[in-house]
Amino acid sequence: MKLTRKEIKTLLKEWESAWDNHDLDKVMSFFHEDAFFENWTGAYAKGSRSIRSAWENWFENHAGFRFIEEESFIDETVQKVLYRWVLEWPSTEPGHENKPEIRKGLDILHFKDGKIITKLAYTKTCLEIDNKRFLLHL
């Protein structure tokens, strides 16, 4: 099953809404059972159960986050998307805890059978707090 460009755009909006509503069940409904996820640190998870397990703690302990789509490039033919986003959330950075923080990044998404089969996440190496830039701490 191949998604049309319109279907991919709709899916991305629904996916973003699921993230913003902190609804892990809904977020996971967009993933293929054989999905692969690699985050910005290089850590990865294989399979939707493993991805869910990797994200459960994050969803439970990081309330108040939201993703804002900056732009998306959709290639309907090969079923791939470059999704550029801004993450707004209460900071966890030492000395700046709970202040509004902004991170910018992108996801490279591959689809198979109408679901996300690959999600590769990248983020800039700096973040913004109080209109100042700081290097990310790993």
Q: Say which CATH number the domain at 79 has.
A: 3.10.450.50
Structure tokens at 101: 């923080």
Q: What does the pLDDT read at residue 136? A: 80
Number of other residues whose CB lies within 10 A of the CB of residue 96: 16
Q: Distances from the Cα of 58 to the Cαs of 7, 26, 65, 80, 92, in angstroms?
A: 28, 15, 10, 26, 12
Q: How many domains does the chain have?
A: 1
Q: What is the mean pLDDT of residues 61-85?
A: 94
- The pLDDT tens digits for 8-32 are 999 999 999 999 999 999 999 999 9
Structural domain for 112, as ranges: 5-135
- The pLDDT tens digits for 99-121 are 999 999 999 999 999 999 999 99
Q: What are phi and psi of 82, to 5 degrees?
A: -105, 115
* Nearest C-alpha neighbor of 51 from the set 14, 13, 25: 25
**Global pTM?**
0.91
| Residue corresponding to tokens 């509503």 | 21
How far, in Å, CA of 109 to CA of 25, rounded?
19
Q: What is the mean pLDDT of residues 44-66?
A: 92
Q: What does the pLDDT read at residue 138? A: 66
